[in-house]
């Protein structure tokens, strides 16, 4: 049950284009003041959504190198590791 809650948070935390009224606000809200970090984060989201887990992991790690306060990137990494059955590493990212 808790994992489902995390998934819902991830969808809302990531800037996406949907028909929901909130999406415009999310798309306009910068994920980071560091443009490189924000760019890598968006690349990670795109790759994750395309099921390119290795590419997503790389992009999220690059984003975190530039801005270590990107909690959403850590959540995505946790999800990637969960999908790869790397549970211990996933737990580290979630905490």
Q: Tokens 């790869």 correspond to what residue?
A: 84
Domain containing 28 equals 2-94
Segment 3-12, tens digit of pLDDT: 444 443 344 3
**What is the model's pLDDT at position 30?**
61
Q: Give me the CATH number covering residue 86.
A: 1.25.40
Question: C-alpha distances in angstroms, 62 versus 6, 28, 36, 77, 86?
Answer: 22, 22, 9, 12, 20
Domain count, the chain: 1
Token duo for residue 73: 């990137």
Segment 21-47, tens digit of pLDDT: 444 444 445 678 889 999 999 999 999
Cα–Cα distances (Å) from 91 to 7, 25, 64, 82, 85, in that order, read 15, 30, 17, 9, 11
64-93 pLDDT, tens digit per residue, is 999 999 999 999 999 999 999 999 999 999
SS3 51: coil
């Amino acid at each position: 049950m808790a994992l489902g809650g995390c998934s819902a948070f991830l969808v809302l935390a990531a800037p996406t284009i949907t028909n929901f009224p909130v999406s415009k606000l999310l798309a306009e809200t910068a994920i980071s003041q560091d443009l490189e970090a924000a760019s890598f984060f968006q690349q990670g989201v795109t790759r994750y959504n395309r099921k390119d887990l290795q590419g997503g992991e790389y992009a999220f790690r690059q984003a975190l190198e530039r801005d270590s306060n990107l909690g959403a990137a850590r959540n995505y990494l946790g999800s990637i590791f969960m999908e790869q059955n790397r549970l211990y590493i996933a737990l580290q990212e979630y905490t």
